[in-house]
Structure 1
Amino acid sequence: MLRGTKVGLRARHADDIPVLQADLYDDVVAGSRAQATPWRPVAAASKDNPLLVDDKAEGIVPFSVVELDGGALVGTAALWGIDTHHRSAHVGLGLMPYARGKGYGTDIVAALCHYGFVVRGLHRLQIETLADNAAMLRAAERNGFVREGVLRSSAWVLGTFLDEVILGLLAADWRPEAPARADGGR
């Protein structure tokens, strides 16, 4: 498990799927804002469920996010679009409604930076988020990400086009305040 100061990132367990399905994926508004594809209902048991982990997929590393204090499941996180030639990847996360506003997003981004830069040896991480997603923008910028541009009206979300912000962080510019641990807490 990767440990931040508040949360841990661990492998996705089978019993995580129904909880994530009910509390995160089935939220049509949040799902529509988070995905680059239209939201559609998918059964938790479906083999097409996007919450299922394909251990053979090399371009994505999905995690379940748990509170360090108590172990409650609070969301998902991933490095995706991993490009081993250019040594880059994208950062993504999703928090359950009851876990928002507690600083978990900043901690998750820090742990993903540690994983990407230290464990994977990546050179660049990138975040794309809706321009009105103040929480994600704050979490990214607190971890050193720099706004690199705006894609005007690029995201179709529930009947309207929204701007997206592109943020990037290079390994050389990364300054971890409290390094995430990959030692399982030992």
Structure 2
Amino acid sequence: MLKGNKVGLRARHDEDIPILRAELYDDVVNSARAESGPWRPITPGAKDPRLVVDDTEQRSVPFSVVELDGGTLVGTATLWGIDMHNRCAHIGLGLLPSCRGKGYGTDVVAVLCHYGFVVRGLHRLQIETLADNAAMLRSAERNGFVREGVLRRSSWVMGEFLDEVLLGLLVEDWKPVTAG
């Protein structure tokens, strides 16, 4: 397990899947804001590629996020679009609704940065998020990410186009936070 100050990132367990599906992916609005495609229902027990881990996949590393105190599942985190030639990847995360606003997002981003830069030897990490996602913007910027641009009206979300913010962090600009 990779540990931050408040959360740990661990392998996905089978018992995580129903919770993540019910609290993150069955929520139409949340899913529409987090995914790059339209929401669609997934049959219970189906192999949902957003949740079921393919350990042979090399371009994406999904984690379950748990509280360090007690081990309660609080969400998902992913290093995706891993490009080992250019040594870059994207960061994504989703916290369960009851776990938002507690500083977990900032800690998840910090742990993913450690994983990307130290464990994987990447040079650049990138985050794309909706312009109105203040929590993700704050979590990224607290970890040193810089706003590099706005993709105007690039995301179709629940009947309207929304702006997306592009943030980047280079390894030489990263200031690791040690777990306390």
The answer to whether the superposition gives a TM-score over 0.5 is yes
AA matched with 2:122: L
1:1-186 equivalences under 5 Å are: 1-178=1-178
Tell me the distance in 2 between the aligned counterparts of 1:91 and 1:50. Answer: 14
Tell me the distance in 1 between the aligned counterparts of 2:142 and 2:85. Answer: 28
SS at the partner of 1:50?
A: coil
1:60–1:79: 8 Å Cα contact kept in structure 2? yes
AA matched with 2:162: L
Tell me the distance in 2 between the aligned counterparts of 1:36 and 1:121. Answer: 27
Q: Deviations over 1:68-111 (max 9, x none)?
A: 01110000000000000000000000000000000000000000
1:155–1:161: 8 Å Cα contact kept in structure 2? yes
AA matched with 2:89: A
Deviation, 1:47, is 2.0
Structure 1 unaligned residues grouped into runs of 5+? 181-186
AA matched with 1:52: V
* Equivalenced residues, count: 180
AA matched with 2:166: I
AA matched with 1:84: M
Deviation, 1:23, is 1.2
AA matched with 1:54: D
RMSD of Structure 2 on Structure 1 (CA):
1.1
Deviation, 1:45, is 1.2
1:43–1:49: 8 Å Cα contact kept in structure 2? no
Deviation, 1:177, is 2.6
Deviation, 1:178, is 2.0
Deviation, 1:164, is 0.2
Tell me the distance in 2 between the aligned counterparts of 1:123 and 1:152. Answer: 27
Deviation, 1:179, is 5.1
Deviation, 1:52, is 0.6
1:42–1:49: 8 Å Cα contact kept in structure 2? no
Tell me the distance in 1 between the aligned counterparts of 2:34 and 2:60. Answer: 16
SS at the partner of 1:118?
A: helix
Deviation, 1:49, is 4.2
Deviation, 1:176, is 1.2
Q: Deviations over 1:122-151 (max 9, x none)?
A: 000000000000000000000000000000
Tell me the distance in 2 between the aligned counterparts of 1:167 and 1:49. Answer: 26
Q: TM-score, length-normalised on structure 1? A: 0.95
Tell me the distance in 2 between the aligned counterparts of 1:26 and 1:111. Answer: 27
Deviation, 1:25, is 1.0
Q: TM-score, length-normalised on structure 2? A: 0.98
AA matched with 1:33: R
